[in-house]
Every structure is written in structure tokens, then in C-alpha cells.
Structure 1
Amino acid sequence: MTPSLFYFVFLSLLLHFVACLEFKGTLFTYHNSTRLTAFESGAEDSDKAFIFLEGLGDGYNGVPYLGVLNDAVTKLGYSLYQIQTTSFYKGYGASSLANDAKELDYLIGYLKEHRNKKHFVVMGHSTGCQDSYWHNKNGQYRKDVSAYILQAPASDREWYADDFPGWPEHLKLATRMREEGRGSEWMPRSISEIPVTADRFFSLYSHGGDDDVFSTDLTDEELDHLYKDVNQPMLAMHGEIDEYYRSPVDQMVILKRLQKACPAFKKIAVIPGATHKVVSPQAQTVLVELVSSFLDTIDNS
């Protein structure tokens, strides 16, 4: 299959499965001053909350496996929360991991106080994995979260460097803007059509940026430093054919390195036939089986 045909088929499948997603539940505002909302489905009367964090550019119903995931966690007595943050859709360029984690804490605090939730699990897709990592290390309510699940923890830096030949010059500009005290200003549209500040560009695409926690060229010492004080249990899952994973390093190799640096990674897996958003129904079945078995160990520990 030629690359162009592959991506046509991939896009067609993705659009089909996303279009079929439909949920019944409750939409509510969890933080009034910022007008942030969340959507709850599944076992709404349960005291167990499963919070899902989207990746860059995504919003509600952003991945095609949410339907089967909702069914799986409902069977285990969880309600599923899709959370809107400032980073929703094209807003990520003006936000940060720290802000995402703060808004996740807003939701957890709201659920504890107003919806009688007592047990929390957080799952991140793509850059939502960075959010999960950051909250595990720095979040106000991190000790209230029983576990974190990371799906498609690919390196934004390695993807950008592979896709954009002008990456070194782009990074030089972002670095210079930060050194000049202009980190909160926008990068030129010629570099990014989506508004992104120099600070967030640096975070996403520089070696050592806040978002640079899954790159395959990080040293053992860097990984040890990054994952110090990351203590709550985690499951990490790569997709076998993730189109955003651009390293020649075998995916299981980097997962094992992460696990060595951070024993909180209790389970790691590479899902056969899974793309970045896990379009294939067969791969989705494996994903929810991994999530369900992991939750069983957490709930029974």
C-alpha cells in the first residue's frame, strides 16, 4: 500500500468511527470563572471516576475508541469523564502542562465536593500522556488518583524534527524570544498556523522542554531526573503502527527504559495493529482488555 493510499484509508476509517460516537450523560461546568466543562457518561451513580484527557487539537469524542472504553469502565463501576481544558482544540498553544494539571485538579476537587466521587483514575491520549505524567508528579490531588493510564506516549519533539526540516531554525527563534523575555508572544504564522507561544513551542519541541518526557534519545540520567517523585501506578501503551512515533528505537525498548527509571510503570504494552488513535476495532479490543485488567489490579490492591 502506498503512503498516500494508507493515509486515505486511515483517515476514512477515523472519520467513520468518530462520526459513530454517541454518548448519553451529563454535561456540567466544573470551574465557573473559566467556564470549563466536563461530560459524564457510564456509571454516573458510582463513586469511581475515570477521567480522560485528549491530545493536541482534540476535544470531546476526540478518539474513536471512547465508545468501547466507556462500556468497559462502566462494567467496572466507573463513570467516564471527558474533560474540557484551556488546551481544547487549538487552545494548546497558549497553555502548558502545568495549566492542564491545575485544571485537572479543578475537576477532581469539584467531583469530590459536589458529585461524591472518591476513587479516581486518569487516562491520557497522546499529549494527554504528558499531562498525566505531570499531574502524577506535581498535581495537587495526585495522591487521590489511584492510577494513570498513558496511551500513545510519543515524543512531540521527535515527530516535529522528522516532519519539519526547518525545526532547528524554528527552535532557535523560540529560544531567542524566551531569552528576550518574549516567551508569551506568538510564534510567526509561517512556522505554525495554530497560534502557539514561544514558551509552548519550546516546551513541545526542544530537548529538555517540559513536554519532552518520552523521547527515545533521553539518557538514563535524564529519565531518572524526570521521573523522580512520580509514584502513583501507571499503565503505558504504544500502538504498533503509531504514525506519530518516529524513532528507530523499538517501542518496547523505550517502554522498558521508562519502567526501569520509574517503577510506578506497573504494566507496559505495545498494541498490535494500533495507530496513534487506535482506529482498528481489533486493536481497540486489546486496548480495553489491557485497561480493564489494569483497573482490576488497582481496584483489588
Structure 2
Amino acid sequence: AFESGSLSSSRCLILIGGLTDGLLSLPYVEKLSSKLESLSKPYSLIQPLFRSSNLQYGWHTINDDIEDLKCLINYLINNRNHLKSIILMGHSTGCQDIIHYLRQDKNHSKIIQVILQGPVSDREYLSKISSTKDQLDYCFKNSKYINEWLPRYLHDPPLTIQRCLSLNQQNSIEDFFSSDLTDEQLKNIYDNIETPITWIWSKQDEYVPNDIKYHVENFVKNKLANKNNSTFILLDMNK
């Protein structure tokens, strides 16, 4: 992990990027670090490198991400006696990591806030890409071999059958933001999460198919961000 800003602070924000992201991948990282440092109660910014970072997401699972995140958080708690609080911030698929972590690990008293920037559905985005159907056909035919990679002509960089199905199947272990999830499925995902969540939604998000943009925005606002301790922020770059 790489830490910047107020290194002696008792507070930190952990920023988790999306698929293919690594250190400094997001364009706002430098400004975010400076802003956190300038607060009256400053935060440091921590950018972890998971096993799935950069182009390695294809042969790692979201459970691997949670193991890596737990390792980082436990290290901070055990080695920084002055640590008071942690904020988790996710970008795109990094948002799924955070929701999965909160569902699995109930011992996160140091985590006072979650920020989800661009919490979009990988499944809904990938469903609009023509190659996805061929990938899924291959996965279903070879589902006994979940750790095998898809042929390069179907997907490059490397992608296992297991991760391909996880990204594309409804109600999979990382399908948390799809607008066709039922109320019962949403209840199962979110009902036991008590940490305050800020949902940051962009009208111009390139990973939301144009034909469902309005529907998905309303879904996030009215179905996801209506939970206890949730806040919805809409970003419109055209205004």
C-alpha cells in the first residue's frame, strides 16, 4: 500500500479502485490527498495494491480482495495505537469490494464512513458488449473447470471461468448494484450493513448503458441510497 498526505494522522482514508486500477490510476487522487491533508482533522490517503490490481483481476476473486483488505485494516489497527478512524472509499468495482467486506466482517468499529463513487453494475455494463455472450457460452460449457482461463481470443488479459461468471451472473457474490435485483435480494445484501454510506452517482458515468441511465440513477437513489445512514450525491458535469 502507498500512503500520502498527513502521515502522522490518527485518521486514514483507504481508496479502492476498480478493475484494472492500480496506484494513481484515478485522476482525482492527488487532489483528494491534498484535501484530506487540509482538513481541520486531517486524514492520510492509503492506496492499496491488491492481488487483483492492474490487469490481474482476471485470475483473482472478490474474496481475494477482501482477504487483502482485511490484512491491511488489521495491520493498521494492530500497529497504530493512535488510530482513531478509517474511511473506506471505493471507485467502480472497488465499491463492490467494500460492500462485500461490510457483509462479511462485522468487527469494523474503526470504520466510521463508507464512500461509494461510481457504484455501477459490471453485469449490466458487460451485457451490452457483444463479446460477453461468447464468453458466457464458453463458461457454461466448461463450468466444471472454474479455475481454467478463457481462451485469449475470447478475453485478454487472462480471465478465469470463475471470475467471468462472478462478474456476469445475476445475484453472484459481487452483483450488488444491478437494477434488476429483487427487493428480497437487496434486503439480503444490505439489511445488516450499519456503517453510514455516501453514494456518489455521476449522470455521465461511461459504464452505465445509455438506454438505462435514467432508470439506474433512480434505482441507486431510491432503492440503494434510501437505507439507514445513507446519503445520495448526484454529479452532473453538464451543470
Q: Does 1:85 align with 2:46?
A: no
Aligned to 1:120: 86
Among 88, 91, 101, the alignment partner of 1:135 is 101
| More contact order relative to length (CA 8 Å, sep ≥ 6) | 2
Q: Structure 1: which 5+ residue stretches go unaligned?
A: 1-37, 275-282, 284-301
- d(CA) in 1 for partners of 2:173, 2:182: 16
Aligned to 1:219: 182
Among 93, 100, 104, the alignment partner of 2:65 is 100
Q: Is the 8 A contact 1:52 1:80 kept in 2?
A: yes
- d(CA) in 2 for partners of 1:99, 1:193: 21
Among 270, 281, 292, the alignment partner of 2:234 is 270
TM-score, normalization by structure 1? 0.73
* CA apart distance, 1:134: 0.7
* Runs of 4 or more consecutive aligned structure 1 residues displaced over 6 Å after TM superposition: none
Q: Structure 2: which 5+ residue stretches go unaligned?
A: none
> Identity of aligned pairs, percent?
31
Matching residue's letter, 2:192: D
Q: Does 1:235 align with 2:198?
A: yes
- d(CA) in 2 for partners of 1:162, 1:219: 21
Among 138, 147, 168, the alignment partner of 1:173 is 138
Secondary structure in structure 2 of the residue aligned to 1:202: helix
Q: More helix per residue: 1 or 2?
A: 1
Q: What's the Cα RMSD here?
A: 1.8
Q: Does 1:148 align with 2:111?
A: no
Question: Per-residue displacement from partner, 1:123-169 (whole Å, max 9, x unpaired)?
Answer: 01010000011111113643331111111111111111112x24234
Secondary structure in structure 2 of the residue aligned to 1:143: coil
Aligned residues: 233
TM-score, normalization by structure 2? 0.91
Q: Does 1:245 align with 2:208?
A: yes
* CA apart distance, 1:249: 4.5
Among 37, 40, 43, the alignment partner of 2:6 is 43
Secondary structure in structure 2 of the residue aligned to 1:63: coil
- d(CA) in 1 for partners of 2:121, 2:56: 20
Among 124, 136, 147, the alignment partner of 1:184 is 147
